[in-house]
Amino acid sequence: MKLKRKRKNKVQIEQVFKEKNSFFLTTASPDGDSVGSMQALGIALQNHGKKASLYFPEPVPENLNFLPGKNAVVSELPAAPLDVMVVMDTGSSRLLFDGDKRGWGKIAKQIVNIDHHPDNDRFGEINCVLPEAASTGEIIFQILTHLNWEITPDIASCLLTAVMADTGIFRYPNVTDSTYSIASSLLKTKIDNGKIARQLYASYSYPYAKLLGRMFSNLKKKHDGKIAWSSLSQEDFAAAEAAEDEGDKMVEQLDILKEVHVFALFREMKDGIIKISLRSRNNLPVNRIASLFGGGGHVQAAGCKIKSTLKEAEQKVIQELDSFFT
Ligand SMILES: [Mn+2]
């Protein structure tokens, strides 16, 4: 039954893409997967004579600026409602436009939700939520292929970026045979996969590298290193001359530790909020811990925010992570 419904939703979305003319694409947080997926769909819609505006609520990370299709990025909401708003790679409507859904009708007449977060709350009128997909990019690939819309080299670059970003270049356990077969199809367009990998994982700025050094020197561990965590205070950001968003994905760098099962990064923001990123190996559900603090995410990658001091936030969250090992 479930499978049937999912297929039906995909077919409905394909119909919307074919029939409607103006699209507003957005996401809660711009990263390799969301930006790659949005750019890919944007280009595909434009290639079929449709209007697509891309709206990012936060600045797109600099290393993603190489992606093609930048021209349709808008910084303001449309004056009159477009046909469709496509929200991508976003688990909940709470994460969009300050959680206020009332204005959505002014943006578009219809809401489509395409995502792979398992805790997605199905906020769209049509929802295509496939937790088995390693990235939203995979779902976009499936939809475009099923529509018989050509995957041009530009679209393929965007989608491979999405796939590589959310799989840590095919390293994470979310990778399936379908991830590889999609990557294989994308590579047939003769795109530069080495360049994409370098853009994603070897394009450190000087402040990022300095901040990374601070993260590793603040490293702590518990339970023989099964839990490892670090923190970045406002002082650390200042010393590294790094902007706060330099720390956005930095937690993933802790994935090089030998014994680690669960790892976390606590970041002190200027507004007194502590942002906490949680990651796990061995399918330990860190999204369960994140949800205790009003956050959410995937089994192996989740996040939450706490208004407190760094020390307090560390205490509270590590105490919950303890439950995996006691
Ligand atoms: Mn994603």
Q: Residue 61 C-alpha to ligand 1 middle, in angstroms?
A: 15
pLDDT tens-place string over residues 122-137: 999 999 999 999 999 9
Model confidence at 97: pLDDT above 90 = no
Average pLDDT over residues 62-81: 87
Q: Residue 274 C-alpha to ligand 1 middle, in angstroms?
A: 22
The Cα–Cα gap between 165 and 160 comes to 8
- Out of 9-13, 66-70, 153-157, least confident range: 66-70
Q: Residue 39 C-alpha to ligand 1 middle, in angstroms?
A: 14
Percent of the chain with pLDDT over 70: 98
Q: Residue 115 C-alpha to ligand 1 middle, in angstroms?
A: 7
Residue boundaries of the structural domains of the chain: 2-201, 206-322
Model confidence at 62: pLDDT above 90 = no
| Fold of the 2-201 domain | inorganic pyrophosphatase (n-terminal core) (3.90.1640)
Q: Residue 282 C-alpha to ligand 1 middle, in angstroms?
A: 19
Average pLDDT over residues 186-207: 93
In this structure, the number of other CB atoms found within 10 A of the CB of residue 85 comes to 25
Q: Residue 326 C-alpha to ligand 1 middle, in angstroms?
A: 31
pLDDT at position 101: 81
Q: Name the more confident of 297 and 312.
A: 312
pLDDT at position 172: 87
Q: Residue 166 C-alpha to ligand 1 middle, in angstroms?
A: 6
Average pLDDT over residues 165-184: 95
Q: Residue 112 C-alpha to ligand 1 middle, in angstroms?
A: 16
pLDDT at position 70: 64
pLDDT tens-place string over residues 242-265: 999 889 889 999 999 999 999 999
HEC-encoded secondary structure of 241-271: CCCHHHHCCHHHHHHHCCCCCEEEEEEECCC
| Fold of the 206-322 domain | Diaminopimelate Epimerase; Chain A, domain 1 (3.10.310)
Model confidence at 49: pLDDT above 80 = yes
Q: Residue 33 C-alpha to ligand 1 middle, in angstroms?
A: 5
Q: Residue 280 C-alpha to ligand 1 middle, in angstroms?
A: 16
Query: What DSSP element (H or E) covers 273?
Result: strand 273-280
pLDDT at position 5: 76
Amino acid symbol at 52: A
Model confidence at 1: pLDDT above 60 = no
Task: Report long-range pairs for 113-116 (Cβ below 8 Å, ≥24 apart).
Answer: 113/87, 114/13, 114/37, 114/86, 114/87, 114/88, 114/89, 114/139, 114/140, 114/143, 115/87, 115/88, 115/89, 115/90, 115/91, 115/139, 116/89, 116/166
Q: Residue 138 C-alpha to ligand 1 middle, in angstroms?
A: 10
Average pLDDT over residues 203-210: 91
Q: Residue 34 C-alpha to ligand 1 middle, in angstroms?
A: 6
pLDDT tens-place string over residues 142-155: 999 999 999 999 99
The Cα–Cα gap between 103 and 317 comes to 35
Average pLDDT, the chain: 94
pLDDT at position 71: 65
- Out of 70-74, 104-108, 129-133, 276-280, least confident range: 70-74
Q: Residue 185 C-alpha to ligand 1 middle, in angstroms?
A: 20
